[in-house]
Structure 1
Amino acid sequence: MGHVRRNYGQYCGLAAALDVIGERWTLLIVRELLLGPRRYGELLEELPGIGTNLLAERLKVLHELGVVTRPQTRDQGYALTDLGRELREPVLSMARWGLHFIDAPADDVEVRAHWGFLAVQAMIDPDRATDIDESYEFRVDDVVFHIAVTDGKPVALDGPAEGDPAVVARTDARTFVEIGAKRLTPFEALASGRLQLVGDTDAIVRSSVLLGLMASPIG
């Protein structure tokens, strides 16, 4: 007997959206695919606890609804369709909102360095970008990503910054998320040795302001 998808039976856009992505684990699958195509085994590894049958079922439904494409060869991964990629801003907004509820990480809580890339995208406040051209590089465990600010417009990009970044930050994934959740200030993380920053002091301040980690300096 096939799986019967539940629905709210309400003629409302929000209810219709939740009919698609409201099931447990579905949005976390979307989170992974927002960071790039993923093979089945990679999704299983990055979503500990989901179970192979449930992952297969969620991917099947997302594919049937036109949110995810299936791999055509063994080397390809599952990927978001154009429709699926429209979830980018809602997911980033929810990630930003969810930072309010993050407690100190327990020892048994999973954390992945590449989630830091999603966190930094959620933290960026374009209204706080100054009219500058510079980049800030983040090395979170073994993952590298950066923010490039061009004419005051910031964008988060995978991989190292081109040229000479104004700031290079090195930390671990737990510390990065704790800073994003404002459980730990960058200065506390620096003092405890959990964060290393290389760069001009003014650039460090600009990057912290851009990420909402400190208020804009007056004057």
Structure 2
Amino acid sequence: MSEVKEVFKQMEERFDADAASGVDEIFQFDIDDEYWHAIVSDGKCEIVESEHDDPSVTLSMDAETLQEVMSGETDGMQAFMAGRIKATGNMMLATQLTNLFPVA
């Protein structure tokens, strides 16, 4: 299993349905040459290995940054400010990711 696939598997396991109440958004992740998206709707989360046609926000980063942010080793906002994460679309949604997928 690829490192990226493992990170998304962990994200699915850590998903906080309570934090997702009222959220109906699609988070696109462009990780190196892999494309993933998380559909968060009605307190549920589905993570799919593919590119979405109309994501709410798209986050681009390398696999190392994804791993560091999702493990809590690196703060997502700091990584964004340092240019390690690029965001397009509704950038405010990116700030919700730490609530939706809390670090273990």
**TM-score class, shorter:** 0.7 to 0.9
Higher relative contact order (CA 8 A, sep 6+): 2
Higher-Rg member (1/2): 1
Residue from 48, 60, 63 that aligns with 1:170: 60
Residue from 92, 95, 103 that aligns with 1:202: 92
Q: Deviations over 1:157-177 (max 9, x none)?
A: 11112x311111111111111
Q: TM-score, normalised by structure 1?
A: 0.42
Count of residue correspondences? 103
Q: TM-score, normalised by structure 2?
A: 0.81
Counterpart contact for 2:20–2:42, Cα < 8 Å: no
Q: Where do 5+ consecutive residues of structure 2 fail to align?
A: none
Q: Which has the higher helix share?
A: 1
Residue aligned with 1:193, SS: coil
1:145 partnered with 2:36: yes
Q: Deviations over 1:52-71 (max 9, x none)?
A: xxxxxxxxxxxxxxxxxxxx
Residue from 109, 118, 140 that aligns with 2:9: 118
Residue aligned with 1:128, SS: coil
Q: Which has the higher strand share?
A: 2
1:191 partnered with 2:81: yes
RMSD: 2.0
* AA in 2 matched with 1:129: A
Q: Where do 5+ consecutive residues of structure 1 fail to align?
A: 1-31, 33-45, 47-111, 214-219
CA shift for structure 1 position 205: 2.5
Q: 1:169 to 1:123 in 2, by over 3 A?
A: farther
Counterpart contact for 1:126–1:210, Cα < 8 Å: yes
